[in-house]
Amino acid sequence: MSPPLRTEAHVVAPSQGAPNEGLPTVGAPLTFVITARHVEPGVALLPVDLKWPKEWGERRTARVHKRTMDGDTEVDTYRLELVPFTSGILEIPSIQLALGSTTAATEPVLVDVSSNLSNEELQVASSTQPENLAVLENMTAHNPEAALLEVWDTRPGWGITGLVVVVLLGIIVQRMIMAYLARSRIPRPPAPPRPAHEVALEELQHLRERSLLSEGELNPYYTELSRIVRTYLGARYQFDAVERTLEELMAALSERETPGLHPAEIQSLLAEADLVKFTKFQPSFESAQAAVKTAQLIVEGSRPVVLHSASDESAPTVPTSSSEASPSNEGAQP
């Protein structure tokens, strides 16, 4: 008698014409297919947040679920888009699915990943330790030496003229301030700072409208995308996220209450941005577009909840988590 739930998994080789045809490459997405067969009616559920080892990252927005029938057997097929961050023989761990109270797990899959990076670039790209920052700086272009330019020294005359101008401006400004204070007796409170999620969403929209991606400027494109996400996370959860390594940033988030935030998405997005910024990795146009969409989902899913009183009928409703902001993130995938 066959078990009530059978699972299998395999990797789809890169398409023909791609670099290293038939062999996965560091930083290039590959398709991982999981198939679950069962006679009992229902849906074999795949967990939303999968715990991937540091050698792998998943693009959650590219995950696809399809249901078919094979005679009397129901078939649930999941297609996941994985990105390897290092080369060699890498293991995709066993993944567990559930059908009601019945569970089954796939066998681990070994994948031979190649790399078009040098050994030095690969070692730096696959690490987030602080001691590698000096190596990253040496891999970038150095600033040119300063040129010596001789000019006439006119500072004494300009200094006297500048002093006179400053004094006159000071008198004018002082009188303007006194006149303003005389007219306004009640000082106005300063305007509150804009919410971090509003600033981040506006900057992401500006990044979409710029021509960096269409002109192939991937390095400044991913640099700006990483800055927007890091600045938002730092402002949202009150810590310095811009100057930290990816490992330090993820550790800081794990110490905080972050409802609606998916750490796996953040780690995958920022790791891809670091690959582009510090190595020769060139993602596809579609991957770069998907990266901005992922950043938008991170911001919208983790923005703070705004509560309104029952009598305030005109107040807008704000999603409380990423499951309300994006239907695709709701619970386990059907």
> Sign of the C-alpha dihedral, residues 195, 201, 204, 206?
negative
Question: What does CATH list as the number for 6-116?
Answer: 2.60.40.10
Residue 207 Cα to chain centre, angstroms: 14
Q: Looking at residues 204-233, what average pLDDT do you find?
A: 92
Q: Give the whole-number percent of the chain exceeding pLDDT 70.
A: 74
Q: Looking at residues 74-101, what average pLDDT do you find?
A: 92
Q: Which residues pair with 103 in a beta bridge?
A: 98
Each domain of the chain, given as residue ranges in start order, spans 6-116, 196-308+316-329
What is the residue-averaged pLDDT of the chain? 81
d(C-alpha 288, C-alpha 283), whole Å: 7
Q: How confident is the model at residue 133 (pLDDT cuts 50, 70, 90)?
A: very low
Q: How confident is the model at residue 33 (pLDDT cuts 50, 70, 90)?
A: very high
Q: How confident is the model at residue 136 (pLDDT cuts 50, 70, 90)?
A: very low
Q: Answer whether residue 96 shows pLDDT above 70.
A: yes
Which pLDDT belongs to residue 86? 86
DSSP summary character for residue 303? S
Which pLDDT belongs to residue 178? 85
Predicted confidence (pLDDT) per residue in 112-131, tens digit: 988 876 666 666 655 554 45
User: Residue 218: what are its φ and ψ, rounded to 5°?
Assistant: -75, -35
Predicted confidence (pLDDT) per residue in 309-332, tens digit: 555 544 444 444 443 334 333 333
Which pLDDT belongs to residue 324? 38
Predicted confidence (pLDDT) per residue in 63-80, tens digit: 999 999 999 899 999 999
Q: Answer whether residue 164 shows pLDDT above 50.
A: yes
In which element (H, E) is residue 65 found? strand 64-70
Q: Looking at residues 263-277, what average pLDDT do you find?
A: 92
Q: Answer whether residue 141 shows pLDDT above 60.
A: no
Q: How confident is the model at residue 137 (pLDDT cuts 50, 70, 90)?
A: very low
